Amino acid sequence: MLKNILMELNNSKAFSRSNIAIKLNITEDMVDQLLQQLIHMGYLKEDLGSPACETTCGGCPYANMCGKNPVTIYSITEKGLKLIGDN
């Protein structure tokens, strides 16, 4: 299942939890859990920053006043690419 998530991320241009959940016949909560597991195992990298800011929202003293929606970007690591055979 972890490999299937990586393959979906690799093959799609835009990430959608709901689309992956539908394609893999699992819940969106399960997709979130599997993403966290992939990050923990080093197959996936997560960037929680906003492209317009230099710091992540969690480290920003103005986060509660900011009108920007944080952007989460996932990227497959070299280790992840090797797992799915796309290196």
Number of structural domains in the chain: 1
The mean pLDDT of 41-65, rounded to a whole number, is 74
Q: How confident is the model at residue 21 (pLDDT cuts 50, 70, 90)?
A: very high
Cβ-based burial of 77 (10 A; exposed 0-12, middle 13-18, buried ≥19) = middle
* pTM, two decimal places: 0.73
Q: Which residues of 61-71 are buried (b: 16+ CB within 10 A; e: fewer)?
A: eeeeeeeeeee
The predicted pLDDT at position 43 comes to: 97
Kindly report the CATH number assigned to the domain that includes residue 73.
1.10.10.10
Tell me the residue range of the domain where 49 lies.
Answer: 2-84
